[in-house]
Amino acid sequence: MAPYVPKLSKASALREVAQRYARKARRGAGHKPRTQAAIRCAELTRLFDDKFGPMVLPDNDDGYQAARVMVHHIGRLRHGDRRMASWLNACAGFLSMADRERLISEVEECPLKWTADKLAWKFKVTAEQRARLKLTTIGAIDLPKAERIKRRTAIKNARRQAQRHEQGAMSRAEYRQTVQSAKPWTEQGVSRATWYRNRPIET
């Protein structure tokens, strides 16, 4: 005999659901997902370290452009004004104080955004660099966006097919080979086209 379980009232049930969601929110409070700007900043750091060397940017046009792109992304983070000043002081020491203040004012007055492909062309990022540095928000000059989407879709489909195979599902080629060998339409006395048309659809 099953044990007696008291039935909760509607108010009690709603209160229990609210408490459950509150517990989940507290558990996940320390694991907030990173913003797009934070991910882009991390990837730009890896790219600049690979291109110019760790931390310090070169005193030339490439270094200035790198600093400008980075502060426009840092400015979108929490406490961006303080982080921009700190980053420029640490990584772009070749800039004068006036240039640093000008960059920070530019970010505050007219923040800019760059697409993945525009950043790729700006810093001449190749597909090899993109893969090696694990860049997901920056494109590649030799791998257009359409090709990246096609490649990503192929990888996703291959992964899904592998998971289905592990669960015991047959591939389309295996299924066709099995059906062709068995020839179930001959047992039913119908043509192959009729059997395929009338076969039950798997859900």
- What secondary structure letter does DSSP report for 177? H
Nearest 5°: CA angle at 157, between 156 and 158? 90
| Mean pLDDT (the chain, rounded) | 80
Q: How many CA atoms lie within 13 A of 22 on its CB side?
A: 6
Widest CA span in the chain: 88
Whether the Cβ atoms of residue 137 and residue 73 lie closer than 8 Å to each other: no
pLDDT(53) > 70: yes
Give the domain ranges of the chain.
36-132, 173-203
Please list, residue by residue across 72-111, b when 16 or more beta carbons sit within 10 angstroms of its beta carbon and e when fewer do.
bbbbbeeebeeebbebbeebbeebeeeebeebbeebeeee
Mean pLDDT of 66-81: 94
Residues contacting residue 57 through CB under 8 Å, at least 6 positions apart: 48, 63, 66, 67, 91, 92, 94
Pairwise CA distance, residues 22 & 31, whole Å: 15
pLDDT(22) > 70: no
- What is the tens place of the pLDDT at every residue in 129-170? 999 999 999 999 988 777 767 766 767 777 777 777 777 666
Which of 33-42, 92-101, 191-200 shows the lowest mean pLDDT across its residues? 191-200
Q: Taking the CA atoms of the chain, what radius of gyration do you get in angstroms? A: 29
